[in-house]
Amino acid sequence: MSRPTGRVLILLELLQSGGIRTMAELAERLGVDGRTVRRYVDQLIDLDVPVEAVRGRYGGYRLAAGYRLPPLMLSDDEALAVLLALAAGRRGGPVTTADTAGETAAAKIRRVLPERLGRRLDAVLESLAFTAAPGRLPHPDAEVLLTLADAVRHRRPVSIRYTDRDGRRSERPLHAYGIVAHGGRWYVTGTDPGIGEDRAFRLDRIAAARTLPGSFEVPAGLDPAQRVVSAFATAGYRYAVTLRIHGTVDQIRARLPAAVASVAETGPTEQADPADPADPTAERWLRVEIRAESLDWLPPVIASLDRPFVIESPDELRDLVSALAGRLASCAREV
């Protein structure tokens, strides 16, 4: 495609986005002078594209109302962004008419994509998982996402260049099991074969990803989304909090979701509990473990549970809970 022809197509895309485009704006975006812009407009008119000239102080060019646009011309990044947005939207709640429209729109876009790009985007959609209604998600780097999705689909090892939260950079191998949207971010979960540990990496911290030779096996029954949630609940932070709370799992999860805390039955040496362990609605003593950078937020959360509890560790949390109890009691006594 010659450069003038390419600029004519860019001009068409700008006009397709709607509204009036001034001569100065179009000239700047296209990198040409006003006379050349008018020549490009004439070329579109010769192709039966109804471009209208709008006169006046705020005039310029626009497409005629009701003009039926030609087939979409999407770059790799644009196609990926659209399909990711449609996929995320379908996880937002009960099925609606808009969800059905989103699904048919995704199918139409997929049908007109080049075969090479279509296969890569299919790999992305197959590898995605969502921990909840995802809301607005940032657009991840297209090449990183496409490479990781292909690795997930074909079970190929990858090498990633990663920067951790402390700013340390490293290059490490990864057996990628899935791509997960969680808490407003994208993650890839898998196993680091160098150390034999499960890991979850933020996509926005991955500078590059490349496929390595070989293949790997995915553990049976693996749930990538659950792995990411569990990784957050057990991540290494400043404080390791251990509680025993008398209640149901649902009561605890209402204030301490899986991404924040792990909940398990207490062992046989713990406080006696007559509840039937097979009954999920029966209240019992449960062990709750939390990793946290600070403890200030925990006393109000524990109080809001309104359940009997025991703080096993750390001692600092006992002091904070006692201080909160004192403030509440003092306020209650005031007239």
What is the chain's percent helix, strand, coil content, to nearest 5?
40, 25, 35
pLDDT digits (tens, 9 = 90+) for 136-152: 566 778 888 889 988 99
pLDDT digits (tens, 9 = 90+) for 146-192: 899 889 989 999 999 999 888 899 999 999 998 888 767 888 988 98
Options 1.10.3470, 3.30.70, 2.30.30, 3.30.2420; CATH for 234-333 is 3.30.70
pLDDT digits (tens, 9 = 90+) for 33-51: 989 999 999 988 888 888 8
Task: Round to whole Å and give the CA distance between 104 and 102.
Answer: 6
For the chain, domain boundaries: 3-63, 76-222, 234-333
Instruction: Report the pLDDT value the prediction gives residue 227, as an integer from 0 to 100.
Output: 79
Instruction: Report the pLDDT value the prediction gives residue 1, as an integer from 0 to 100.
Output: 40
| Mean of pLDDT values over 92-96 | 43
pLDDT tier at 206 (50, 70, 90 boundaries)?
very high
Options 3.90.1150.10, 1.20.120.530, 1.10.10.10, 3.40.50.1390; CATH for 3-63 is 1.10.10.10
Asked if residues 231 and 198 have their Cβ atoms less than 8 Å apart, the reply is yes
pLDDT tier at 234 (50, 70, 90 boundaries)?
low
Q: Which range has the worst mean pLDDT, 7-21, 137-151, 257-271?
A: 257-271
Smallest CA-to-CA distance from 135 within 97, 198, 184, 101 is with: 184
* pLDDT, the chain, mean: 80
Asked if residues 190 and 176 have their Cβ atoms less than 8 Å apart, the reply is yes
Taking the whole predicted model, whether its pTM rises above 0.75 is answered as no
Instruction: Report the pLDDT value the prediction gives residue 275, as an integer from 0 to 100.
Output: 52
pLDDT at 98 > cutoff 50: no
pLDDT at 270 > cutoff 60: no
pLDDT digits (tens, 9 = 90+) for 283-300: 899 999 988 878 889 999
Residue 147: Cβ-neighbour burial (10 angstroms; 0-12, 13-18, 19+): buried
pLDDT tier at 76 (50, 70, 90 boundaries)?
low
Instruction: Report the pLDDT value the prediction gives residue 170, as an integer from 0 to 100.
Output: 92
- Residue 162's H or E segment, with its range, is strand 158-163
What percentage of the chain has pLDDT greater than the value 90? 24
| Mean of pLDDT values over 198-210 | 90
